[in-house]
Homo-oligomer: A and B are copies of this chain.
Amino acid sequence: MVKSHDHSQSHRRVRADHATELAEDYVEAIDDICRESGSCRAVDLARRFGVSNVTVTRTVSRLVRDGYAQTEPYGPIELTPKGKRVAEHARARHQIVYRFLLSLGVSEKTASVDSEGIEHHVSRETLHAMQRFIDHTARPSDG
Protein backbone atom coordinates (compact mmCIF):
# COMPACT_ATOMS: atom_id res chain seq x y z
CA MET A 1 0.00 0.00 0.00
CA VAL A 2 1.06 3.56 -0.57
CA LYS A 3 0.90 3.93 3.19
CA SER A 4 -0.15 6.97 5.15
CA HIS A 5 2.21 9.35 3.45
CA ASP A 6 1.85 13.02 2.92
CA HIS A 7 0.21 12.71 -0.44
CA SER A 8 0.29 16.45 -0.90
CA GLN A 9 4.05 16.36 -1.31
CA SER A 10 3.74 13.96 -4.22
CA HIS A 11 1.08 16.01 -5.93
CA ARG A 12 3.05 19.20 -5.53
CA ARG A 13 6.01 17.49 -7.16
CA VAL A 14 3.85 16.31 -10.06
CA ARG A 15 2.56 19.85 -10.59
CA ALA A 16 6.10 21.19 -10.54
CA ASP A 17 7.18 18.52 -13.04
CA HIS A 18 4.39 19.53 -15.38
CA ALA A 19 5.28 23.19 -15.07
CA THR A 20 8.69 22.54 -16.62
CA GLU A 21 7.77 19.68 -18.92
CA LEU A 22 6.94 21.57 -22.09
CA ALA A 23 10.03 23.76 -21.83
CA GLU A 24 12.19 20.65 -21.49
CA ASP A 25 10.58 18.94 -24.46
CA TYR A 26 10.86 22.08 -26.58
CA VAL A 27 14.52 22.79 -25.92
CA GLU A 28 15.32 19.14 -26.53
CA ALA A 29 13.41 19.28 -29.81
CA ILE A 30 14.99 22.57 -30.86
CA ASP A 31 18.42 21.12 -30.19
CA ASP A 32 17.58 17.93 -32.12
CA ILE A 33 16.26 19.83 -35.10
CA CYS A 34 19.22 22.20 -35.18
CA ARG A 35 21.55 19.21 -35.22
CA GLU A 36 19.58 17.48 -37.95
CA SER A 37 18.94 20.35 -40.31
CA GLY A 38 21.14 23.22 -39.19
CA SER A 39 18.34 25.44 -37.96
CA CYS A 40 14.96 25.21 -36.32
CA ARG A 41 11.80 26.94 -37.50
CA ALA A 42 8.39 27.12 -35.87
CA VAL A 43 6.98 24.89 -38.55
CA ASP A 44 9.45 22.15 -37.61
CA LEU A 45 8.28 22.23 -34.01
CA ALA A 46 4.63 22.27 -35.03
CA ARG A 47 5.19 19.06 -36.99
CA ARG A 48 7.24 17.50 -34.21
CA PHE A 49 4.66 18.14 -31.49
CA GLY A 50 1.53 17.80 -33.58
CA VAL A 51 0.22 21.23 -32.66
CA SER A 52 -0.55 24.35 -34.66
CA ASN A 53 2.13 26.81 -35.61
CA VAL A 54 0.43 29.42 -33.45
CA THR A 55 0.75 27.24 -30.40
CA VAL A 56 4.43 26.81 -31.16
CA THR A 57 5.00 30.53 -31.57
CA ARG A 58 3.45 31.30 -28.23
CA THR A 59 5.25 28.50 -26.45
CA VAL A 60 8.55 29.67 -27.90
CA SER A 61 7.80 33.19 -26.74
CA ARG A 62 7.58 31.82 -23.21
CA LEU A 63 10.93 30.10 -23.74
CA VAL A 64 12.37 33.44 -24.81
CA ARG A 65 10.79 35.19 -21.87
CA ASP A 66 12.36 32.63 -19.52
CA GLY A 67 15.80 32.81 -21.10
CA TYR A 68 15.90 29.43 -22.84
CA ALA A 69 15.76 30.62 -26.44
CA GLN A 70 16.05 33.63 -28.67
CA THR A 71 14.56 34.57 -32.00
CA GLU A 72 14.34 37.49 -34.36
CA PRO A 73 11.14 38.28 -36.23
CA TYR A 74 10.69 35.73 -39.01
CA GLY A 75 13.98 34.18 -38.05
CA PRO A 76 14.96 30.74 -36.81
CA ILE A 77 14.73 29.63 -33.19
CA GLU A 78 17.98 29.32 -31.29
CA LEU A 79 18.84 28.14 -27.80
CA THR A 80 20.64 30.25 -25.26
CA PRO A 81 23.46 28.67 -23.23
CA LYS A 82 20.90 28.08 -20.50
CA GLY A 83 18.59 26.46 -23.04
CA LYS A 84 21.39 24.24 -24.30
CA ARG A 85 22.21 23.07 -20.79
CA VAL A 86 18.59 22.17 -20.16
CA ALA A 87 18.44 20.40 -23.51
CA GLU A 88 21.51 18.31 -22.72
CA HIS A 89 20.13 17.38 -19.35
CA ALA A 90 16.69 16.56 -20.73
CA ARG A 91 18.14 14.46 -23.53
CA ALA A 92 20.37 12.48 -21.19
CA ARG A 93 17.51 11.77 -18.83
CA HIS A 94 15.16 10.87 -21.68
CA GLN A 95 17.76 8.47 -23.09
CA ILE A 96 18.11 6.66 -19.81
CA VAL A 97 14.36 6.25 -19.42
CA TYR A 98 14.03 5.07 -23.01
CA ARG A 99 16.81 2.52 -22.77
CA PHE A 100 15.56 1.42 -19.38
CA LEU A 101 12.17 0.57 -20.87
CA LEU A 102 13.88 -1.36 -23.64
CA SER A 103 15.87 -3.25 -21.02
CA LEU A 104 12.63 -4.02 -19.25
CA GLY A 105 11.52 -5.75 -22.40
CA VAL A 106 9.00 -3.44 -24.02
CA SER A 107 8.96 -2.69 -27.74
CA GLU A 108 10.80 0.25 -29.25
CA LYS A 109 7.53 1.91 -30.16
CA THR A 110 6.16 1.63 -26.64
CA ALA A 111 9.45 2.68 -25.07
CA SER A 112 9.47 5.72 -27.30
CA VAL A 113 5.91 6.76 -26.46
CA ASP A 114 5.92 5.97 -22.73
CA SER A 115 9.31 7.52 -22.10
CA GLU A 116 8.09 10.84 -23.47
CA GLY A 117 5.79 11.24 -20.48
CA ILE A 118 7.62 9.26 -17.82
CA GLU A 119 10.92 11.13 -18.19
CA HIS A 120 9.53 14.21 -16.45
CA HIS A 121 8.56 12.36 -13.28
CA VAL A 122 11.75 10.44 -12.63
CA SER A 123 13.73 11.62 -9.61
CA ARG A 124 17.49 11.47 -9.36
CA GLU A 125 17.23 8.38 -7.23
CA THR A 126 14.99 6.54 -9.66
CA LEU A 127 17.10 7.63 -12.60
CA HIS A 128 20.15 6.10 -10.96
CA ALA A 129 18.27 2.91 -10.30
CA MET A 130 17.27 2.79 -13.97
CA GLN A 131 20.85 3.36 -15.06
CA ARG A 132 22.04 0.52 -12.82
CA PHE A 133 19.40 -1.75 -14.29
CA ILE A 134 20.49 -0.91 -17.82
CA ASP A 135 24.11 -1.59 -16.95
CA HIS A 136 23.23 -4.82 -15.21
CA THR A 137 21.03 -6.00 -18.05
CA ALA A 138 23.47 -5.13 -20.82
CA ARG A 139 25.10 -8.53 -21.13
CA PRO A 140 28.19 -8.89 -23.32
CA SER A 141 26.51 -11.91 -24.90
CA ASP A 142 24.11 -9.57 -26.63
CA GLY A 143 24.11 -9.23 -30.39
Interface residues of A (CB under 8 A from B): 1-3, 5, 7-14, 17-18, 25, 29, 47-51, 94-95, 98, 101, 104-118, 120-123, 125-126, 129-130, 132-133
The reply to whether A117 and B120 contact each other, CB–CB distance below 8 Å, is: yes
Contact of A25 among B11, B48, B107, B116 (CB under 8 A): B11
Contact of A14 among B9, B106, B109, B117 (CB under 8 A): B117
> How many copies of this chain are found per oligomer?
2
User: How far, in Å, is A16 (CB) from chain B's closest CB?
Assistant: 10
Query: Which residues of B lie under 8 Å from residue A48 when comparing CB positions?
Result: 7-8, 11
The reply to whether B115 and A2 contact each other, CB–CB distance below 8 Å, is: yes
Q: How far is the CA of A9 from the CA of B116 in the complex (A)?
A: 10
Which residue of the partner chain B has the closest CB to A115?
A: B2
User: How far, in Å, is A57 (CB) from chain B's closest CB?
Assistant: 17
Q: How far is the CA of A89 from the CA of B38 in the complex (A)?
A: 46
Query: Which residues of B lie under 8 Å from residue A121 when comparing CB positions?
Result: 114, 116-118, 121
